[in-house]
Structure 1
């Protein structure tokens, strides 16, 4: 879980990497719900990552 939130992965330039990281983070969030795996600031970055990755898939 710590490796997925590394700055070099959350801000990666390759879209395939972004989608893969977003998918993994989404699954982690789903599995451990309702408990947060990370603190609030990191969760904000994670949700930005997820929304940004899937937004770029659409168009």
Structure 2
């Protein structure tokens, strides 16, 4: 009886650890999409710089 309780407790702990790992991955995904948005913004700025130098 006690052994199954310990096994169950270990299983719950494993699930909880996996949930934490998933939330970390999710946060990294959000960070990557922010970086991607910044890259797009930089390329837009670069295009504007090229446009300004053409106007000059």
Range class of TM-score, shorter chain: 0.3 to 0.5
TM-score, normalization: structure 2? Answer: 0.36
Q: Which has the bigger relative contact order, CA under 8 A and spacing at least 6?
A: 1
| The structure with more radius of gyration | 2
| More helix per residue | 2
